[in-house]
C-alpha cells in the first residue's frame, strides 16, 4: 500500500476538505445525465469522499464516474449495493440468486467467481465499492431485513462462503464491505423502520455474530465494515437520556472503537448504515447523529439526504472547530478512507471507467448466464415431497396452472423508487418448452373474491398446479408474509 500518497494527501488538506471526505452521499438521480453537472459541483464544493448510486444504466454510471473523477480534487469512492450482483441495480449486468440459495449450494469456488465477476463488471464502469457481503447469522427465521440475504445461520457456513466472495471482489479491483456489524440476524424487527433490538447475551454475541467478523477479518481483510443501527444491550452500557434506551451500535464507542477496532483489530473503513433509517432517526437529530457517529469511531457516514447533506457536513465542521471532535479523530478517519482509495488503486488510475471495448466484452449478453444458473440450480432445496410427486417425469400435454406472487410487488418497488427492478416467473416458459399446456396467473395484492375463485376453479381441472412465492426481505416493509390474495388461495378449499 502506498502510504506516502495517503500521508501527502492528508497533509495538504484543509479541515473543510477533511470533513468532506467523511461523507458518502446517495444521489438518487445519477441515472439522469442532466443531473451530472449539479452532482459533480456538489462533490467539488464539499470534497466528498464518496458517492452511492441506486438503479441506473451502465452508460449513465460510466458517464458520471468518468466526469466526477476528472473533476474531483481527490478520487471519489463510488459505491453500489451488489449483494446479488451489479445487475440488481445496473441494467444489463450480472444478477445472481440471493445468498441463502448460495448458502445451500455451499460452493466456495462459485462464490469466488461471483465476487470476481462483480468486481470486473463494477470496476469497468467506474464503481469501486460494493456493500456486500452480508455476514449476519440468520438465527431468527422471522427477520424481515436479513433473512434470505444471509448465507446461513452458523459461523462456518457464513465464513466459508463470505471469505472467497470477498477475495473474488478485492483481488479483481473493487472493495468489499461486510455488514451489518455487530450482527443483525437475531431479531424480528427492521432497522429501516425502527431500531432493531438484539436480545442476545454478550457470550452469544462473541461466540456467534462477532466470531463471523473476527474470522472474516483474518481470512479476507475486507476494506469496509458497515455498522448497523441496532440496540444491543449486552454490548453497550450507554443510554440515550432522551428516551432511556440503549444507544444504537452506530453511535456506540463501546461497539465501534472498543470492540470493532481494538478487540477485533479492524483497520479498514467503518461506515455507518444509511442515516435516514428509522433505527437511528428515532433516537437523534441528523446533526447529533453525524457528530456522535464520528466520536464513536465511525469513519464515513452514508448520508441519504442528497438535497441537504450539508446539515451533516456543517455539524461535523462546527464540532471539529469547537474541539468537540478532536482533530486526531478526523485525521484517523480520513487516513482510513484514503488508505481504502489506495487499496482500490484510485491513487494510480483515479477510478476512471475502462475503455468501451473492455466494457462491451464484459457485458456481452449471455456471458455470465452459466454463472447465474449455477448459483440458482446448486442451491435448490427440497423440503418436502408428499407422495413422491417430484420429479415429474412426463409433463408433455398435461394441463398446468402456474400461480406467481411477489413480495415486494411491482407497486411496492415503484413506491421505493426501484421500478427498474423487474421480477418475473420463468416457470411457465420452461414448462411450455417441455410440452405442457400452461395457464399462468400473477396473484397481486388486490384481487376480487370472484377473480380468486375463478382461478381456483381452473386449478381444480388442472393436472398440476405450481404456486410460486417470490418473497424477499425488502427495506421498510417489515414482513415476510405473502400478500392477502395469496393467503386467500392457500386458505381455500382447493
One pLDDT digit (tens) per residue for the chain, 494 residues: 678 999 999 999 999 999 999 999 999 999 998 999 999 999 999 999 999 999 899 999 999 999 999 999 999 999 999 999 999 899 999 999 999 999 999 999 999 999 999 999 999 999 999 999 999 999 988 888 888 899 999 999 999 999 999 999 999 999 999 999 999 989 888 888 888 899 999 999 999 999 999 999 999 999 999 999 999 999 999 999 999 999 999 999 999 999 999 999 999 999 999 999 999 999 999 999 999 999 999 999 999 999 999 999 999 999 999 999 999 999 999 999 999 999 999 999 999 999 999 999 999 999 999 999 999 888 888 889 998 989 998 899 999 999 998 877 777 777 767 666 667 888 999 999 999 999 999 998 888 989 998 999 999 999 999 999 887 666 555 566 778 888 888 877 65
- The H or E element containing residue 32 is none
229, 280 contact by CB (below 8 A):
yes
236, 246 contact by CB (below 8 A):
yes
Q: Taking the C-alpha atoms of 70, 363, 159 and 145 in order, what is their torsion angle to the nearest 10 degrees?
A: 80
**Pairing state between β 175-181 and 129-130:** parallel
Local structure of residue 232 (DSSP, 8 states):
-
Q: Helix, strand, or coil here: 144? A: coil
* C-alpha cell, 193: 423502520
22, 30 contact by CB (below 8 A):
no
In this prediction the pTM is 0.90
**Pairing state between β 129-130 and 399-407:** unpaired
d(CA 112, CA 485): 40
Residue 370 lies in a domain: no
Of 363, 392, 415, the domain-final residue: 363
Question: 463 and 345 in one domain?
Answer: no
Residue 56: the pLDDT is 93
Closest-CA residue to 317 (of 330, 303, 328): 330
Residue 493: the pLDDT is 66
d(CA 329, CA 325): 7
Question: 57 and 200 in one domain?
Answer: yes
Question: 474 and 341 in one domain?
Answer: no
The contacts of residue 33 (CB under 8 Å, 6+ apart) are: 60, 63
Local structure of residue 139 (DSSP, 8 states):
-
23, 300 contact by CB (below 8 A):
yes
Residue 67's CB: how many other CB atoms inside 10 A? 17
Question: 388 and 355 in one domain?
Answer: no
The contacts of residue 38 (CB under 8 Å, 6+ apart) are: none
Residue 471: the pLDDT is 76
For residue 253, the domain's CATH number is: 3.20.20.300
For residue 387, the domain's CATH number is: 3.40.50
Residue 479: the pLDDT is 61
Residue 445: the pLDDT is 83
Residue 207 lies in a domain: yes
d(CA 210, CA 255): 11
Question: 170 and 72 in one domain?
Answer: yes
Burial 236-268 (b: 16+ CB within 10 A, else e): beeebeeeeebbbbbbbbbbbbbbbbeebebeb
Q: Helix, strand, or coil here: 90? A: strand
Longest dimension (CA), the chain: 78
Instruction: State how many domains the chain has.
Output: 2
Residue 322's CB: how many other CB atoms inside 10 A? 8
d(CA 342, CA 347): 6
Residue 396 lies in a domain: yes
Question: 90 and 12 in one domain?
Answer: yes
The parent domain of residue 421 ranges over 382-491
As a whole number of Å, the end-to-end CA separation of the chain is: 65
Residue 258: the pLDDT is 98
Residue 467 lies in a domain: yes
Local structure of residue 482 (DSSP, 8 states):
P
* C-alpha cell, 215: 474470522
The contacts of residue 420 (CB under 8 Å, 6+ apart) are: 55, 56, 89, 91
Residue 470: the pLDDT is 82
468: β partners: 404
Residue 97 lies in a domain: yes
Question: 412 and 295 in one domain?
Answer: no
Residue 374 lies in a domain: no
d(CA 29, CA 57): 11
52, 353 contact by CB (below 8 A):
no
Separation in Å, CA 108 to CA 103, 113, 233, 258: 10, 9, 35, 32
Question: 355 and 238 in one domain?
Answer: yes
Residue 104: the pLDDT is 93
Question: 271 and 344 in one domain?
Answer: yes
* C-alpha cell, 33: 445525465
Question: 144 and 36 in one domain?
Answer: yes
104, 376 contact by CB (below 8 A):
no
H helical segments located in 223-269? 253
Question: 147 and 238 in one domain?
Answer: yes
Question: 48 and 164 in one domain?
Answer: yes
d(CA 29, CA 493): 48
Residue 313 lies in a domain: yes
Residue 443 lies in a domain: yes
Amino acid at each position: 500500500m502506498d502510504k506516502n500518497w495517503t500521508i501527502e494527501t492528508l497533509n495538504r488538506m484543509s479541515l473543510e476538505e477533511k470533513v468532506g471526505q467523511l461523507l458518502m452521499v446517495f444521489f438518487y438521480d445519477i441515472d439522469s445525465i442532466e443531473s451530472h453537472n449539479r452532482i459533480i459541483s456538489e462533490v467539488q464544493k464539499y470534497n466528498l469522499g464518496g458517492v452511492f448510486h441506486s438503479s441506473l444504466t451502465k452508460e449513465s454510471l460510466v458517464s458520471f464516474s468518468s466526469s466526477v473523477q476528472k473533476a474531483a480534487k481527490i478520487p471519489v469512492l463510488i459505491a453500489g449495493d451488489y449483494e446479488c450482483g451489479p445487475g440488481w441495480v445496473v441494467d444489463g449486468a450480472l444478477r445472481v440468486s440471493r445468498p441463502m440459495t448460495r448458502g445451500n449450494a455451499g460452493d466456495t469456488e462459485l462464490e469466488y467467481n461471483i465476487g470476481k465477476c462483480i468486481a470486473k463488471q463494477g470496476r469497468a464502469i467506474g464503481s469501486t465499492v460494493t456493500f456486500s457481503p452480508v455476514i449476519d447469522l440468520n438465527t431468527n427465521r422471522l427477520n424481515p431485513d436479513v433473512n434470505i440475504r444471509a448465507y446461513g445461520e452458523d459461523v462456518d457456513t457464513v465464513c466459508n462462503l463470505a471469505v472467497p466472495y470477498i477475495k473474488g471482489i478485492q483481488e479483481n479491483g473493487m472493495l468489499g464491505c461486510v455488514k451489518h456489524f455487530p450482527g443483525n440476524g437475531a431479531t424480528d424487527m427492521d432497522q429501516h423502520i425502527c431500531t432493531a433490538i438484539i436480545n442476545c447475551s454478550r457470550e452469544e454475541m462473541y461466540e456467534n455474530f462477532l466470531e463471523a467478523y473476527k474470522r472474516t477479518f483474518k481470512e479476507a481483510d475486507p476494506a469496509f465494515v458497515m455498522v448497523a443501527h441496532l440496540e444491543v444491550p449486552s454490548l453497550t452500557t450507554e443510554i440515550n437520556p432522551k428516551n432511556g434506551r440503549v444507544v444504537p451500535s452506530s453511535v456506540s464507542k463501546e461497539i465501534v472503537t472498543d470492540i470493532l477496532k481494538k478487540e477485533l483489530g479492524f483497520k479498514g473503513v467503518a461506515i455507518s448504515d444509511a442515516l435516514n433509517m428509522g433505527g437511528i432517526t428515532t433516537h437523534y437529530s441528523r446533526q447529533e447523529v453525524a457528530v456522535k457517529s464520528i466520536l464513536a469511531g465511525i469513519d464515513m457516514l452514508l448520508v441519504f439526504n442528497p438535497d441537504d447533506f450539508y446539515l451533516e457536513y456543517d455539524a461535523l465542521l462546527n464540532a471539529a472547530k469547537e474541539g468537540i471532535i478532536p482533530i486526531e479523530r478526523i485525521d484517523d478517519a480520513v487516513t482510513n478512507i484514503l488508505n481504502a482509495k489506495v487499496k482500490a488503486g484510485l491513487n494510480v488510475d483515479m477510478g476512471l471507467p475502462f475503455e468501451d471495448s473492455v466494457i462491451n466484452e464484459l457485458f456481452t449478453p449471455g456471458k455470465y448466464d452459466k454463472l447465474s444458473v449455477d448459483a440458482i440450480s446448486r442451491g435448490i432445496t427440497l423440503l418436502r415431497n408428499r407422495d413422491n410427486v417430484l420429479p415429474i417425469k412426463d409433463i408433455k400435454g398435461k394441463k398446468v396452472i402456474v400461480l406467481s406472487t411477489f413480495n415486494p410487488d411491482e407497486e411496492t418497488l415503484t413506491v421505493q423508487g426501484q421500478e427498474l427492478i423487474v421480477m418475473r416467473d420463468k416457470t411457465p416458459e420452461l414448462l411450455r418448452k417441455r410440452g405442457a399446456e400452461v395457464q399462468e396467473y400473477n396473484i397481486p395484492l388486490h384481487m376480487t373474491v370472484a377473480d380468486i375463485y375463478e382461478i381456483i376453479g381452473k386449478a381444480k381441472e388442472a393436472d398440476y398446479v405450481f404456486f410460486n412465492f417470490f418473497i424477499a426481505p425488502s427495506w421498510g416493509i417489515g414482513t415476510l408474509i405473502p400478500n392477502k390474495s395469496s393467503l386467500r388461495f392457500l386458505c381455500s378449499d382447493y
